[in-house]
Amino acid sequence: MSQHRFRVNPVRTYAERMTETRSELRKLVRERLCAITGEPSAQMRWARAAYMRDVVARYRVRIEGWPLREVPFKNLSDVPNLGRLELLLRNWKENTIYFRKITEEEYQAMVANPSPWLEYVETGEGEQAEAADDA
């Protein structure tokens, strides 16, 4: 007979909430990428070079509105804070972070200078800040 563990306190742990939020965020981003590209097998890439090659170059779309000051663009497994993951999830749900189709001219500009590939990010005060190069 197998033994089952039951939790005395059914409240999810911080680690469980991180995993659930990260999973929901990945699913939502992939759904949005598939929707804008019309490609049901489209995959999101989180490393900058892979993102440029496998998302931007392949589909001619890019992410707009990513809050680089709060959350550098990187693998979601490397985001160490639940609040930051929740910020990303909320912004994707509210469409303040979204994919946008880009023109060939915009694509060529991104290839020529990939550092500011997310261009500008709105801060809480409404000012514009250049995207960080170390994302």
pLDDT at 123: 38
Q: Are 48 and 118 in contact (CB under 8 A)?
A: no
pLDDT at 116: 59
Q: Are 100 and 59 in contact (CB under 8 A)?
A: no
pLDDT at 86: 97
Closest CA to 83 of 30, 28, 21: 21
Q: Do β-strands 128-130 and 98-101 pair in parallel, antiparallel, or remain unpaired?
A: unpaired
pLDDT in tens, 55-88: 999 999 999 999 988 998 889 999 999 999 999 9
Secondary structure of residue 29 in the 3-state scheme = helix
pLDDT in tens, 19-50: 999 999 999 999 999 999 999 999 999 988 89
Predicted confidence (pLDDT) at residue 124 exceeds the cutoff of 50? no
Confidence of residue 2 (pLDDT cuts 50, 70, 90): low
pTM of the predicted model as reported, rounded to 2 decimal places: 0.78
Q: Are 114 and 52 in contact (CB under 8 A)?
A: yes
pLDDT at 7: 62
